[in-house]
Amino acid sequence: MKMRKLLALGLSLAMAVSLCGTMAFAEEETEVETEAETEAPLVITEDIQEIIDRGVLRVGVKNAVEGFGYQDTLTGEYSGMEIDIANLIAEELGVDVEFTTVTAATRTELLDSGDIDCVIATFTITDERRESWDFSTPYYTDHVTVLVKDSSEITDLEGLLDKTVGVSSGSTSARSLVEAMIEAGVIDGEGYDAETFDAALWTDGVSFRQYDDYPAISTALESDEIDAFCVDKSILAIYKTEGRSYIDAEFAPQEYGVATTKDSGFSAYVDTLINRWLNDGTIDGFIEEYALD
Ligand code: GLU
């Protein structure tokens, strides 16, 4: 009797265990299914229909950021992960793609004027920018650093004290550097206010010169008009020629998103696609292909 009871208990335990196993498995399966099913629908709104009718998606991209947006000066061909993303969006829409080279200073004007439909150009998502434009989920995260001439003997944030740094107008760079210098205790940051910060007016421990594009900053570094060149590492890479080095500091994570017109149907459409490509490994594939990690 005792034996039979034990056996029965054992059996029901085994059943319970296997049932649990099945349930867990079933749950896993459901989760996978739900994930696949929860992709937001790709709704063709009026603004998207306009792109389809036009037959061309117009995208603002960089032309000198290797692995992101790079234009071959001989062939005129663009390449990089941001170019690939643009091509995939166009493919999904069933249209051609037309690239316009943008800079940090021109990209939002071109989007606002309707000359381009979106910006895929190392464009960092910030709360302030979100007030004016929509950004997709980030597809890449970079960091800011500083490029100097070896002859300057600047090697870290401390070495930048009282120096003049070249940055691009319309970029996050100056603010990021000031915040990093405050955090590292190089400057006290008294008088720093993230909301009102203006690179042109900042003189506390470091000052800035703003340029319209990166080649101009590189030239200014060469001619000692500035002591250092600060921007995202991905952008600096092409200017790190012989006799130039990064200082020993990387700061201010820069999450890149596709920027579109605020509250447009196209914003939701693009975000759905970016999420799809983040989930299915397409974006990771680009990061690997262009050796961006
Ligand atoms: N990614 C930074 C920004 O959006 C640097 C500027 C640039 O992308 O050229 O401000």
Sort 79 into a burial class: Cβ within 10 Å, 0-12 / 13-18 / 19+.
Answer: middle
User: What are the DSSP calls for 51-119, one per residue?
Assistant: HHHHTEEEEEE-SEETTTEEE-TTT--EESHHHHHHHHHHHHHT-EEEEEE--TTTHHHHHHTTS-SEE
Q: Which ligand 1 atom sits nearest the alpha carbon of residue 122?
A: 8
Beta carbons of 264 and 134 less than 8 angstroms apart: yes
pLDDT tens-digit readout, 185-210:
999 999 899 999 999 999 999 999 99
Q: Which residues contact 152 (CB under 8 A, 6 or more apart)?
A: 159, 227, 228
Beta carbons of 255 and 130 less than 8 angstroms apart: no
pLDDT tens-digit readout, 210-228:
999 999 999 999 999 999 9
State phi, psi for 143 to the nearest 5 degrees: -135, 160
Give me 148's structure tokens: 């100097």
Pocket test for ligand 1, best of 62, 231, 234 (most atoms within 8 A of CB): 231
> What pTM, to 2 d.p., does this model score?
0.87
Residues with CB under 6 A from ligand 1: 104, 122-124, 168, 171-173, 231-232, 235, 254
279 closest CA partner among 34, 94, 26 = 34
pLDDT tens-digit readout, 3-40:
444 444 444 444 444 444 444 444 444 444 445 558 88
Beta carbons of 111 and 176 less than 8 angstroms apart: no
C-alpha 131 to ligand 1 mean position (Å): 17
